[in-house]
Amino acid sequence: MTLSVIISTKDHEAVIERALKSVKFADEIIVVDLHSQDKTVDIVKKYTDKVFSHQNYGYIEPVRNFSISKTTGDWILIIDADEEVTPGLKKAISSIVKAKDQADLPDCFYLPRKNIIFDKWIQKTGWWPDYQLRFFRKNHVEWSDQIHSVPITKGEVKEFPAQEKFVLLHHNYQSVSEFVERFNRYSSIQAGEKKTKQELTSSEIIEEFTSSFLRRLFSQEGIEDGVHGASLSILQSVSDAVMKMKVWEKQGFPQKKQSLEKTLGSLSKFKRELAYWMADTQIKHTSGIKKLIWRLRRKLMI
């Protein structure tokens, strides 16, 4: 059996060589370039002559099926230009591709992804294990053109263990500006795909932000990740709220009347839920009589 690796690029001269070096073990490297203006393609041609051009839509899904069509391997591995295959993952993938009894193997694999954001491996706020469907037999996966769509699979699907030795390493957001630029671009694309009419109220937009913020900071334990967890909880929650507002904007800012009482009710709800989660966090980090007091406080918030 043979392995084809797919990488899509767009002005990635600073990072593309790292990705290419990590997949040199593959039988074939396919690069689809989205009209780079820097030296990306020159660097790529040092590693493969199978370089194709594709229209840039601002996100990757419309490129996936085109890229797959250019492969000749039995198995396909997809990585992004800012990712790299770690030695442990390389060994696991190679053993599957070279296995003699292919009939007993699953057809598609989700890989755990290790996200480095603001110079740190982020394991909270929903960023781990961040499973991605990236390794599969040819003709067993198909993408729609919708942004962040879940690919359609055929056959048996399995996850690699969520262990560091099997990770796909993702050098994700390197700056706050990069995070803001990307969520601004993605939210505009997602808003453009929404078909339903949305009459936004003040309480709805408040709850969109607060529910996301509480989930990321407390349910997904962002608070345990210090300033990184707090920052990402805020940034991701703002992103969720902005997306909702952009749908509203696209539809001409339709106005839906709402009483001040309901708006204040949403803020009161946030206050109660915040108090509950603060008490819950204190329970995890205290003992003895203090723990009992915080348990009582949390019960009063329900």
**What is the CATH number that goes with domain 3-171?**
3.90.550.10
Sheet with 157-159, strands from edge to edge, namely: 51-53, 28-33, 3-9, 75-80, 132-137, 108-111, 157-159
Nearest to 22 by CA among 90, 115, 76: 90
Q: What is the pTM of this model?
A: 0.92
Q: Quote the pLDDT of residue 214.
A: 98
* Of 248, 126, 267, residue with least CA distance to 207: 267
Helix (H) or strand (E) holding 95: helix 87-97
In the numeric block, the tokens 């370039």 are attached to: 33
Residue 300: what pLDDT? 86
Domain ranges of the chain: 3-171, 176-265
- The stretches in the chain having pLDDT less than 50 are none
Confidence at residue 200, expressed as pLDDT on a 0 to 100 scale:
87
pLDDT of residue 215: 98
Distance between CA atoms of residues 150 and 153, nearest Å: 9
pLDDT at 83: 98
Q: 70: number of CA atoms within 13 Å, CB side?
A: 23
Distance CA 50, CA 30 (A): 5
Phi, psi values for residue 75, rounded to 5°: -115, 150
Q: Tell which residue, 106, 59, 61, 85, has the closest CA to residue 5.
A: 85
Q: List Cα–Cα distances, 162 to 109, 135, 167, in angstroms.
A: 12, 15, 8
